Amino acid sequence: MNPMNPNRDAILARLAGSSLPVSGDVLAHELGLSRAGIWKHIQSMRKQGIRIESYTGRGYQLKSDVLSPAMLQDQLGETLIGSECMVFDEIDSTNREAMRQAEAGADEGLVIIANRQTSGRGRLGRSWYTAEHDSLALSILLRPDIGPEKVAQLSLLTAVALFRALSEFVPGLGIKWPNDIMYNGAKIAGILTEMRGEPGQVHAVVIGIGINVRRPAGGWPEEITRKVSDLSTASGRDLSRLDTALAIIRAMERGYREYSTSGFAPIREAWWRAHAASGQRVRAHGSNGYVEGIAEALDNDGALLLRTGGKLQRFIAGDIELMDVN
């Protein structure tokens, strides 16, 4: 569960920044390593499944969709979100690692990314499938000056940020309450928010984001029974995890600053405009069965307000489905 080796990180960043092969001599000179050291790192990364092609007399060229801290931070510049990035080859859960880092005193804005998760989690105790090099599993550590009762607002803020970021690649996305990102009725991305705190005070909030960047080569696992899609299929072009991660981090930076200066109201308005079921008839499923009604509003606690008969009913946990969509 160690983070990516810094020398391999530097090699990957250099290869990713070039559209042409880069010679071993150039890599060795720029990174202060021997050519034999470069070759050993290349071989190790190949064993991990990273495609790096060799061209006689020309050098190495990266062919896999990989991420490294240097790739991210070289393009992010001075930001709060992404001020530090850690990329793991394999980890139990990016949320769990972000919380471990929080408890060890990590600063706000830390971003954790994993190529593989062994215990990825979603909402309501569900598992989250992470396809190596085809999915993006990303967690962000925040330390907001808010009370625990307002943490749900950060989940909705993240949904708005995801909607904004992914809409750069795919038109026609929508949010499904509370924070799934949907395309033509299929889920593309989800969010899991977790908190550490005490009455009246939040110590740390971890925002976990899972995104299907492309369809796995072997197809979706049979245990995934819900309708899912991916960004590359929806956009009609092969998207990279790097571009996706950069778009999300930048959108989160914008949204978090907006929230810090202007409060929740503009975020709630943006969420309602992007919500796929705003003003529509839905069936809301919870622990006590289901309720049907018109999705009429979103309150400050993140509850969906349903018009059932002549009264409004707050729906605070569970899932919804649109009733008028074939």
What domains are there in the chain, each with its CATH number? Answer: 6-62 (1.10.10.10), 69-263 (3.30.930.10), 277-322 (2.30.30.100)
pLDDT at position 226 over 80: no
Q: Exposed (0-12), middle (13-18) or buried (19+): which is 199, by Cβ within 10 Å?
A: exposed
Q: What is the spatial distance between Cα 187 and Cα 128, in angstroms, rounded to a whole number?
A: 12
| pLDDT score recorded for residue 283 | 87
pLDDT at position 80 over 70: yes
Q: Model's pTM, two decimal places? A: 0.86
Average pLDDT over residues 60-82: 89
Place of tokens 């593309």: 188
**DSSP-based three-state secondary structure for 50:** coil
Residues in CB range of 221: below 8 A, 6 or more apart: 129
CA 151 to chain centre: 18
pLDDT greater at residue 19 or residue 59: 59
Residue ranges of alpha helices (H) inside the chain are 6-16, 24-31, 35-47, 69-76, 94-103, 151-166, 231-235, 241-262, 265-274
Mean pLDDT, rounded, of the chain: 88
Cα of first residue to Cα of last residue in the chain, in angstroms, is: 44
236: left (phi over 0), alpha (psi -120 to 50) or beta: left
| pLDDT score recorded for residue 301 | 82
| pLDDT score recorded for residue 319 | 79
pLDDT at position 313 over 60: yes
Count CB neighbours of 56 within 10 A.
6
Q: Measuring CA to CA, which residue among 227, 243, 3 is closest to residue 136?
A: 243
What CA dihedral angle connects 79, 84, 86 and 87, to 10 degrees?
30
Count CB neighbours of 117 within 10 A.
25
Listing DSSP states for 228-269 in one string gives: B--HHHHHTS---HHHHHHHHHHHHHHHHHHHHHH-SHHHHH
Average pLDDT over residues 143-171: 95
Residues in CB range of 15: below 8 A, 6 or more apart: 22, 52, 60, 61, 62
pLDDT tier for residue 3 given thresholds of 50, 70 and 90: low
**DSSP-based three-state secondary structure for 149:** helix
The amino acid sitting at 313 is Q
pLDDT at position 128 over 70: no
pLDDT at position 100 over 90: yes
Write b or e for each residue in 232-245: b if 16 or more Cβ atoms lie within 10 A of its Cβ, otherwise e.
bbbbeeebbbbebb
Name the phi and psi angles at 292, rounded to 5: -105, 140
Residues in CB range of 182: below 8 A, 6 or more apart: 173, 174, 175, 176, 188, 276
H-run or E-run covering 61 = strand 59-62
Q: Cα dist. 322→16, 183, 221, 292, 326 in Å?
A: 42, 14, 25, 10, 9
pLDDT tier for residue 267 given thresholds of 50, 70 and 90: very high
pLDDT tens, residue by residue, 19-45? 899 999 999 999 999 999 999 999 998
pLDDT at position 321 over 50: yes
| pLDDT score recorded for residue 124 | 44
pLDDT tens, residue by residue, 182-218? 999 899 999 999 999 988 899 999 999 999 999 877 7
Q: Cα dist. 110→92, 93, 191, 223 in Å?
A: 18, 15, 17, 32
pLDDT tier for residue 262 given thresholds of 50, 70 and 90: very high
